Amino acid sequence: MSSQPNPTPKPIVLYFQAHQPWRLRPFHFFEIGSKADGFDNTQNEAIVRRITRQCYLPANKILLDLILKFPQIRITFSISGTLLDQLKQYCPEGLASFKALAETGAVEFLAETDFHSLASLLPGTEFEEQVLDHVARLQEYLGVRPAVFRNTELIYNNDIAKKVHALGFDGMFLDGIDAVLQGGSPNHLYEHPEEKGMKLFLRNYFLSDDIAFRFQEFGKKLTVGKFMSRLKSIPQDDTLITLGLDYETFGEHHKEETGILNFLTDLLVCLAKDKHYNLVTPSEAIQQLQHTPALHVPDTISWADAERDLSAWLGNDMQQDAFETMAHLEGRIKAMNDPTLTDRWRRLMTSDHFYYMSTKRNSDGNVHAYFSPYASPYEAFMNYMNVLQDFVHTVKEKEKELATFPKKAL
């Protein structure tokens, strides 16, 4: 028998972000005014089906099997409303497999903005509306009620967290970047400086990106052994490790041939068996951890690009112009109270559209380009603006209709 005292296992939150936007179809300037559908349903269906086949189904199966085998496993998901809707529409079997995970009780689902949107940057109540819509959607599609929140692309500041707390959430995720930690460790559960009871999970981006971005670097593959030794190098005093990555990492960004799915299996088995670690859900972590130092984040941060700010979506004139033009429609959209138009407007608010318009160069530029369906940020902007302007025509038409037949509209 070992003489070492049995260590308290260190809690690990492992969360996966799953999201697909409603991509736009190629939309010509001359179509503006035709009041057409600007979304590329064929392409969206093809992409969601492909990713479901390559990632969601096989990875969900791994998780489900392992949870049955090791009931101590805990997984956290954040699934955008735009993906849930597309799964429902194009791939019901994908949605069913998430539901099966939900039913194990070992998986916690986070709330987010329904449209994976930049709504947290809008004044007014659009943000709250989208969060509540997402909560309702989770309830309807997966039968779960979320207690912890994760904003689009981990966009975060004190004020957003305040709003989130006011909506009844006990915790929220943000990226554990040095600019806010100032030398402190991301490996603790923190707390909002003013909102008592609002706990903060800081993603350990270094370890997370080891898997997400550096699984295969310089022709060398990350092994579970190597990853575990990095986990072990985390100081004893650190109390919580939060790992967060795109779920599409498993089978889409890294294809199955790379061995990424085996890595996922082996990692979970290893963590389940290792007495030093304990996979937990965010809600469990909040219950377990009493000591939660305050963390002050006055400036808006995110998990994107080297800058870790809003510049991935609003870094240049085009992005700001597109976003502002979209945002200015809010009053008119809300006044009409037309569910179809509101839905279309919100789809245009999804962060991806603005992400494609980034003109950053360097390695971040390559990541933007990888995700973008467009040849260049300029094409992304032109196409978005064409769709948006056509949408404005649709809105105008509807307004006229409402002015002419106010009763019929009711």
Q: Does 322 bind other proteins (CB under 8 A)?
A: yes
115 or 323, CB closer to other proteins? Answer: 323
Among 279, 382, 392, 395, interactor with other proteins by CB under 8 A:
382
158 or 316, CB closer to other proteins? Answer: 316
Q: Which amino acid is at 357?
A: M
- DSSP alpha helix (H) spans, 143-215: 158-166, 178-181, 205-212
Shortest approach of other proteins to residue 59 CB, angstroms?
A: 34
Q: Does 185 bind other proteins (CB under 8 A)?
A: no
Site stretch for other proteins (CB under 8 A), options 49-57, 295-303, 310-318, 393-401: 310-318
28 or 230, CB closer to other proteins? Answer: 28
Q: Does 316 bind other proteins (CB under 8 A)?
A: yes
Structure tokens of 297?
């984040």
Site stretch for other proteins (CB under 8 A), options 74-82, 219-227, 268-276, 317-325: 317-325
Q: How far is the C-alpha of 285 from the C-alpha of 268, rounded, in Å?
A: 18
Q: Which helix (H) or strand (E) holds 232?
A: helix 224-232
Shortest approach of other proteins to residue 32 CB, angstroms?
A: 8
Q: Which of residues 252-271 bind other proteins (CB under 8 A)?
A: none
- Which DSSP string corresponds to 238-281? ---EEEEEEGGGBTTTB-GGGTHHHHHHHHHHHHHH-TTEEE--
Q: Does 320 bind other proteins (CB under 8 A)?
A: yes
Q: With CA atoms as reference, report the closest residue to 357 among 312, 300, 309.
A: 312
User: Residues touching other proteins: how many (CB under 8 A)?
Assistant: 20
Of the residues 112, 153, 191, 330, only one is catalytic, namely: 153
Q: Which of residues 24-63 bind other proteins (CB under 8 A)?
A: 28-30
Total length of the chain: 410
Among 130, 157, 239, 386, interactor with other proteins by CB under 8 A:
386
Burial class (CB in 10 A: 0-12, 13-18, 19+), 129: middle
178 or 317, CB closer to other proteins? Answer: 317
Distance of CA 348 to the CA centre of its chain: 17
Q: Is 153 a catalytic residue?
A: yes
Site stretch for other proteins (CB under 8 A), options 71-79, 105-113, 313-321, 340-348: 313-321
Site stretch for other proteins (CB under 8 A), options 37-45, 137-145, 315-323, 392-400: 315-323
Q: With CA atoms as reference, report the closest residue to 267 among 233, 223, 332.
A: 223
281 or 358, CB closer to other proteins? Answer: 358
Q: How far is the C-alpha of 41 from the C-alpha of 15, rounded, in Å?
A: 29
Q: How far is the C-alpha of 409 from the C-alpha of 342, rounded, in Å?
A: 15
Q: Does 381 bind other proteins (CB under 8 A)?
A: yes
Q: How far is the C-alpha of 31 from the C-alpha of 130, rounded, in Å?
A: 30
- The Cβ-side half-sphere exposure at 405, using a 13 Å CA radius, reads 6
Q: Which of residues 186-245 bind other proteins (CB under 8 A)?
A: none
Q: Does 372 bind other proteins (CB under 8 A)?
A: no
Angle at 34 between CA 30 and CA 38, to 5 degrees: 85
Q: Does 366 bind other proteins (CB under 8 A)?
A: no
Q: How far is the C-alpha of 151 from the C-alpha of 160, rounded, in Å?
A: 9
- The Cβ-side half-sphere exposure at 22, using a 13 Å CA radius, reads 23
292 or 383, CB closer to other proteins? Answer: 383
Beta bridge partners of 200: 172, 190
Task: Specify the 3-state DSSP secondary structure of 179.
Answer: helix
Q: Does 376 bind other proteins (CB under 8 A)?
A: yes
| Alpha-carbon distances of 78 from 43, 148, 161, 374, 409, rounded to whole Å | 23, 10, 17, 26, 36
Shortest approach of other proteins to residue 28 CB, angstroms?
A: 5
Q: Which of residues 346-365 bind other proteins (CB under 8 A)?
A: 359, 361
238 or 317, CB closer to other proteins? Answer: 317
Site stretch for other proteins (CB under 8 A), options 5-13, 125-133, 145-153, 376-384: 376-384
Catalytic residues: 153
Q: Would you tell me which residues interact with other proteins (CB under 8 A)?
A: 28-30, 316-318, 320-322, 359, 361, 375-379, 381-382, 385-386
